[in-house]
Structure 1
């Protein structure tokens, strides 16, 4: 699957990750979009490592991996942000 596909998956996955983990995050929608895009790439890499084959195409598993990557990054982002201001 191409980079453009992971960016689109990431945009949607970032919004879903924010829905799953609601809360006040600095940066608003822009940070959520960026976390989603990078999370899509992270999810694609994790999915490739777990399955042993590349993640390809617009399918349910690719989308799930993009959401997983976005959730991981959102949690890391919140941990770093809360520690720096605690």
Structure 2
């Protein structure tokens, strides 16, 4: 994937994860992109532990993997900082 694709998929994954975790009001576009890209790396690593192929499965699998990883990342950050999400 190109750098532009990483940014777009990362931004979408970070935004979806922040909506799911209730942290969207605290994050801006740049943080959504960073969380999504970090989530993609984390999700790809977790997927490879279970024998999955995080590379080359298409953009939909990449988006789902990045979103899953971003949710895990936001959960871990929430545990580390002691913050709890507030759902409306």
Q: Normalising by the residue count of structure 2, what TM-score does the alignment of the two structures yield?
A: 0.69
How many residue pairs are counted as aligned between the two chains? 81
Contact 1:41 1:69 in 2 (8 A): yes
Backbone CA RMSD of aligned residues: 2.5
SS of aligned partner of 1:68: helix
Match of 2:17 in 1: 17
Cα distance change on mapping 1:54 and 1:64 into 2, 3 Å: closer
Report the CA distance between 1:52 and its aligned residue.
4.3
Q: Which runs of 5+ in 1 are unaligned?
A: none
Q: Does 1:77 align with 2:84?
A: no
**More displaced, 30-39 or 17-26?**
17-26
Report the CA distance between 1:44 and its aligned residue.
2.0
Q: Normalising by the residue count of structure 1, what TM-score does the alignment of the two structures yield?
A: 0.70
Give the Cα–Cα distance (whole angstroms) in 1 for the partners of residues 56 and 14 of structure 2: 19
Match of 2:86 in 1: none
Match of 2:53 in 1: 53
Q: Which runs of 5+ in 2 are unaligned?
A: 84-88
Contact 2:35 2:70 in 1 (8 A): yes
Report the CA distance between 1:54 and its aligned residue.
4.3
Contact 2:15 2:24 in 1 (8 A): no
- Deviating above 4 A after TM superposition, structure 1's stretches of 4 or more consecutive aligned residues are none
Contact 1:14 1:32 in 2 (8 A): yes
